[in-house]
Each structure stands twice: as structure tokens, then as C-alpha cells.
Amino acid sequence: MDAYASEPQGWVLYDGGCGVCAKWVPFWRPTMARLGLAVAPLQEPWVAARIGVPTDALLTDIRLLFRDGRQLAGADVYRYVLQRLWWAYPLYVVAAAPGLRRLFDRAYRALADHRHRISRACGFGDPG
């Protein structure tokens, strides 16, 4: 996919080398499209050049790159999406509430840090 051909409002960028990520993020592609967001793996050649994050830090988090260059990473990407989906808004309220926000962030971090192990345990393995 040429990321510049049809400039969306932004791109949800995920670890294409993670089995869980590679299965579930593209599954949500139609939903993201309704929000004006495209979906692409962080490993796409255009991503590193456009996102401006050192290669060793690039795959640590899911990212949202806006057309104007602004970025969100990690749990903030999920909060951004949850806030914009009418049916997920109650989850956004929980994820953004004082006290619960920290819990949501910790849960995200734990899942992100162990996503490859979780992929293997769930039988997703490495995409390929």
C-alpha cells in the first residue's frame, strides 16, 4: 500500500511481527477507516522515515501518526479510538478516569511487553 496515495487523517501503526497484532489490528481496518484512519505495520519502509522514531524504539508501542505529523503511542492510541466510537465510549470513560487510567496504562504496557509470548501461547505465532 502506498501510504501517500490516499492521505487519511492518520495511520494506526502496529507491530506486523506480532501474531496477535497482525491478526487483530487489520480486523479493525473497516472500523478505523470510518474514523478516517488507515492501518499499516510499523515495518513498512515509509513508516520509519515519516515517524522519526529511532529504529530500536519503533516497535515498542502501537502508534497513531496523524497526517500533520502529530503522534500518539501506546495506551493513548486506544483511548483516542475508544473516545470516537459511540459503542466503545463507556470503555474510554473507564480508560481515562483518574486512577483507572494508570491501571489501563499498566495493563497495556504488560500486554505490549509480552505480546510475542502471548501470540505463541494463543497459537498465532509469528505472521509470515
Domain ranges for the chain: 10-121
Write down the CATH number for the domain with range 10-121.
Answer: 3.40.30
pLDDT at 52: 85
pLDDT at 6: 61
Q: How far, in Å, CA of 118 to CA of 15, rounded?
A: 14
pLDDT at 3: 44
| Residue 69 Ramachandran class (φ > 0 left, ψ -120 to 50 alpha, else beta) | left
Q: How far from each other are the two terminal CA atoms of the chain, in whole angstroms?
A: 17
Q: Could you tell me the three cell numbers for 37? A: 484512519
Q: What is the mean pLDDT of each run of 10 residues along the chain (128 residues)?
A: 64 92 89 95 90 83 95 97 96 96 96 88 70
C-alpha torsion angle, residues 93, 97, 103, 105 (rounded to 10): 70
pLDDT at 118: 84
